[in-house]
Amino acid sequence: MEGFDSKYANFPDWINGITHEIWEERGIDKLLYLYSDDIPVRSPSSIVIGNKVVIEATKATLSEFPDRQLLGEDVIWSGSPETGMLSSHRIISTASHLGDGSFGKATGKKITFRTIADCHAINNQINDEWLIRDQGSMARQLGMLPKDFARNQINNEGGFENCNQPFSDSMDKVGPYTGKGNNNEWGEKAVAILNQIMSGKDSVIRTQYDRGCHLEYPGGVCGHSYDDAEEFWDGLRSSMPSAIFTVEHQIGREDEHLPPRAAVRWKLKGKHDGYGIFGEPTGTDLYVMGVTHIEFGPWGLRREYTLFDETAIWKQIIIKTG
């Protein structure tokens, strides 16, 4: 791989390898050259600029969860070493809550949660990132509802006037990566399914999903088959029935020993004007940053992993409603 550390066989190997070096081998200082000085890192809760801020956030997480293990489930990627590559990296983490921090006083509880990070890399360095961690699942396993976690976060950050504002595209900073992925047929198929679902064409689930499909949703929710898929997507769409769903990035891939698969990063932007997974409508302007990974099999969509941060959505609602 031209421009990348030769000890790694390919781009997925590099992504998984440096993640292990930074987090589990405690090579946090490597972020000074593995991440660019001015990298924009967007998450549902904020946007931060620069590798030094990333280092401080990494230290804070490891102080709270010192035994965190990051187990790479998949890397769905596009591009080339010469022009730059975009990885959609899905991780399942195990960690014990052994230190005080953003999730409150240490509980000693062991938790499992998922993260998806879209990272652009060139010349052995990441210079652009979109990061979603399942904070709702973490909060629930530690004894809090996502709504309560969001309220505590607002209070800990100095109240409504001073707290960090959740991410929206109005605060975005254009980074080095402006690509849209690739035009592989499996990415196109995944986008078509999501667009139909979010336009209210529920029948697509029963025609395009495998009846035995496995589903992983925000909050650590695991489901199977048509009913669970319909319940999740209907609950999101009915919360924001007038919102606009937009695909921002798509990748499709076929790799040896792996099923055809796709990674789609999307946003849902509009008012909280309906009853659904976020309770009574409040009229709050909401921004949802989401990523969906899909694996296809002989009978359609066989595995789906969709992730957004419930706590960031509740934070937007609470800031608006008090």
Under a CB-based contact definition with an 8 Å cutoff, are residues 49 and 40 in contact? yes
For residue 156, give the H/E element and its range. helix 146-156
For the chain, the residue count is 322
From the CB of residue 166, how many other CB atoms can be counted at a distance below 10 Å? 24
Same CATH fold, 185-321 and 11-152? yes
Nearest to 262 by CA among 313, 211, 300: 300
Q: pLDDT at position 194, please?
A: 98
140: tokens are 């629930």
For 185-321, give the CATH class.
alpha beta
Q: pLDDT at position 202, please?
A: 87
CATH architecture, range 11-152: Roll (3.10)
Whether the model clears a pTM of 0.75, i.e. scores above it, the answer is yes
131: tokens are 């990061």
Under a CB-based contact definition with an 8 Å cutoff, are residues 81 and 31 in contact? no
Q: pLDDT at position 322, please?
A: 86
**Domain ranges in the chain?**
11-152, 185-321
State how far the Cα of 10 lies from the Cα of 35, in Å rounded to an integer. 18
Residue ranges of the chain with pLDDT lower than 50? none
Q: pLDDT at position 30, please?
A: 97
Under a CB-based contact definition with an 8 Å cutoff, are residues 113 and 138 in contact? yes
Cα distances from 239 to residues 31, 84, 132, 274, 285, in angstroms, run 39, 38, 20, 4, 12
For residue 204, give the H/E element and its range. helix 203-208
Using CA atoms in the order 102, 108, 109, 112, what is the torsion angle rounded to 10 degrees? 60
State how far the Cα of 178 lies from the Cα of 134, in Å rounded to an integer. 26
Under a CB-based contact definition with an 8 Å cutoff, are residues 145 and 279 in contact? no
Is residue 43 classed as helix, strand or coil in its secondary structure?
Answer: strand
